[in-house]
Amino acid sequence: MSAGAPPVVTEIARPWWDALARGEVAVQSCSSCAGWVFYPRPFCPSCGGRDLAWRTVDPAATLYTWTVAEAPVSPHFAHLHRPVLAVAELGIGVRVPTTLVHADPDDVRIGMALTPVFDAGTYPGFTLLRYRPA
């Protein structure tokens, strides 16, 4: 599959991408309030703590919400046919924007179990976190 512009990796988000390349999902955890922090940030949005540690978490998820992009959301994605844009909720409660693969839009339901798909084939040098129905 061809693709448009690759992801932009910032230094603060690099551990996220490095974990995906290993086939893992890592999320920041705040040592002050024990809250999970996503997306990657230099401080905790709950308590302002700056002592954040990356922790590997179970990547299994449930479908929080979704939609079908009937029209391309960007010229970069014009080659995709009805992609399912979704938000996957990890067991720790963190909600991750993603796309579903191997999913018939007519069969997608909120709350359905999702299995991670570590997509290393769309952008050279990047692994994307996608999901498919479990």
Residues numbered 21-40 forming contacts with Zn ion, rule: CB under 5 A: 30, 32-33, 35
Nearer to Zn ion, 44 or 63 (CB): 44
In the complex, least distance from residue 110 CB atom to Zn ion, rounded to whole angstroms: 29
Asked if residue 37 lies in contact with residue 29, where contact means CB atoms within 8 angstroms, the answer is yes
In the complex, least distance from residue 90 CB atom to Zn ion, rounded to whole angstroms: 18
Residue 113 interacts with Zn ion (CB under 5 A): yes or no: no
Q: Which of 76, 59, 67, 48 is nearest to 105 (CA)?
A: 67
Residues numbered 47-86 forming contacts with Zn ion, rule: CB under 5 A: 47, 49
Residue 44 interacts with Zn ion (CB under 5 A): yes or no: yes
Residue 61: Cβ-neighbour burial (10 angstroms; 0-12, 13-18, 19+):
buried
Asked if residue 126 lies in contact with residue 17, where contact means CB atoms within 8 angstroms, the answer is yes
